[in-house]
Amino acid sequence: MPSRTAPPGQAVVDVTLHVNGRAERLRLDARVTLLDALRERLHLTGTKKGCDRGQCGACTVHVGGRRVLSCLTLAAGVNGEQVTTIEGLADGDRLHPMQQAFIDCDAFQCGFCTPGQIMSATALIREGHTRSDEEIRDFMSGNICRCGAYPNIVEAVRARRIPR
């Protein structure tokens, strides 16, 4: 199992992340992104590394209830915050309603972007940005699907939106 500490000689910080309801204490290089801490140190690989530049949305997670691009977020910058990844949405074997909607609406093809899409979709429902298909598309525009499953993604969000 890989070490949870930074290599010798690097500037390190002690970080506590509350990930999916569990406190995780890490000693990290101060420059480690939240994405790399989740994937490489905590072995939560559901969050995907797509572009690593904040342009595709594959790395979307929730921090303190808001959606963030984990590839652009330093782990040290969210010290002490609540972090939810795709792994944290389900309740045991029971899928989150948005995860189920993506299955029911066939809202994925290759599946690579799906975790980020689902994390954005759950946030945009909470934010109240589901009044129309156009609004859903607008607020999901930071999440790229290279397979082109956009109509089905909008359908999944529409199926699970909270009526206003």
Q: What is the pLDDT of residues 112-146, one digit of tens each?
A: 999 999 999 999 999 999 999 999 999 999 999 99
Mean pLDDT throughout 17-34?
97
Higher pLDDT, 68 or 7: 68
Angle between helices 150-160 and 114-127 (to 10 degrees): 40
Q: CA-CA distance, 157 to 22, in Å (whole number)?
A: 28
Query: What digits encode the pLDDT tens for the residues 83-109?
Result: 999 999 999 999 999 999 999 999 988
Task: Tokens for 2, please give them.
Answer: 């890989």
Rounded-to-integer distance, Cα 88 and Cα 85, Å: 5
